Amino acid sequence: MTTTHAQTRALVAGSIGNFIEWYEFAVYGFLATVIAKNFFTLEGESAITSLILTYAAFAVAFFFRPLGAVVFGRIGDRIGRKPTLIIVLVLMTLATAAIGVVPVYASIGVAAPLLITFLRILQGLFAGGEYGGAVSLMTEFAPRGKRGLYGAWQSLTVALGLLAGAGVVALLSGLLSTEALHDWGWRIPFFIAIPMGGIALWLRVNMEETPSFVRQQTQAIPPQAASFASTLKAIITGIGRLMVWSAAGYTYLVIMPTYLQSALHTGFNQALLIAVISNAGFALTIIPSGILSDRIGRRTVMVTAAVLLLLLALPLLKILQAESSTLLIKACVVFIAGGLVGMLAGPGPAMLAEMFPTRVRYTGLGLAYSLSNAIFSGCAGLIITGLIKQTGNLDIPAYYVMATAVVSVIALMTLRKDDHQRSLEE
């Protein structure tokens, strides 16, 4: 197999698992109101309480991602990226499909939400082992000067997964009656993970191990090259740099449809359409931002995006809230917001890979990413919905994004200007 062929296969094989993961997470987010009604509607409680419980199960899964990043990251740093990515793919696919067969609350009572939550925990555990391996695989195969581009493809699959999830849910809501969607139609998106997983498995079985890992296995690397203290410092710094990406990403790309429905009383189909448009904006800026970061540096691109999110979060939300705003205006607003998140997601994977040496890269970048997502993505729906219920302030989503942007701007300013030009540390 030629080097070019190996790089292309690694790019596709690394991306597809991430696509499946984010497709499923999107489906759960976009079907939150349906899942809340079927599994988390308790006697005497309001609809928003059911929604909060649904998002709690969503958040729990994210908090198991760091554990998965540690467990599977250590395996991946010791036995290789390829076998570990095959293991997490199979387990993640099975856990996703299993959600589609769980009986609803009306059938088995409290066991239903408990089963859903347990499967979400398993998904979080296995998904935690996916990101670090996929980014390691893709950036370690990347030609010098193209790590931003290669890493950006990994982020693009997040956008494509979110778009696919929104598209499938929108299609089902258009083809099925509301009763059919709530009764059995919601299960279909979870079953679709099975054929997706089969294709991904075939691709990963046929890919090669990364050149960096093979070299590292044959070299005597001194222990100080990957000391615990330096790895921990890099993880904490990485969380700070990713904070606004995590918060803004879930606020604008996943939570927004439910916010529009519950807080602004937007119709289900219109909210889904707006979600698709925001994810389209996200997708369109990822690859160009990754390429741009290979030319002018990760710091310039990511700091610019974070500052723009800080300045525009509240004005954009005010436009969404305005009764005079047409669907076209709302579409433009979320398209811009999604595009700004894409400017962070393009250079982000390469930026993370460049922070860790090969022997801890799978674990280190996976843990930084999963911890940031656990705190600032997984809890986004819970925090925003809970604070709106508590305060009645509909500006909470903007304040949430702005607070995280401040921290990320400071952390991103510590990036070296030449990180994109240096070789990955072995």
pLDDT for 295 equals: 94
pLDDT, tens digit, 9 for 90 and up, residues 239-249: 999 999 999 98
- The residue that leads in pLDDT, 349 or 123, is 349
User: Which one-letter amino acid corresponds to residue 233?
Assistant: K
Domains (range + CATH), the chain: 3-214+227-421 (1.20.1250.20)
pLDDT, tens digit, 9 for 90 and up, residues 1-40: 445 788 888 888 888 888 888 888 778 877 877 887 777 7
Q: Which tokens sit at 389? A: 């219920």
CA 199 to centroid of chain Cα atoms: 21
Q: Which tokens sit at 286? A: 């990822």
Q: Which tokens sit at 342? A: 């894409």
pLDDT for 86 equals: 94
Nearest 5°: the CA angle 411, 414, 417 is: 135
CA nearest to 178, candidates 102, 268, 113 = 268
pLDDT for 1 equals: 43
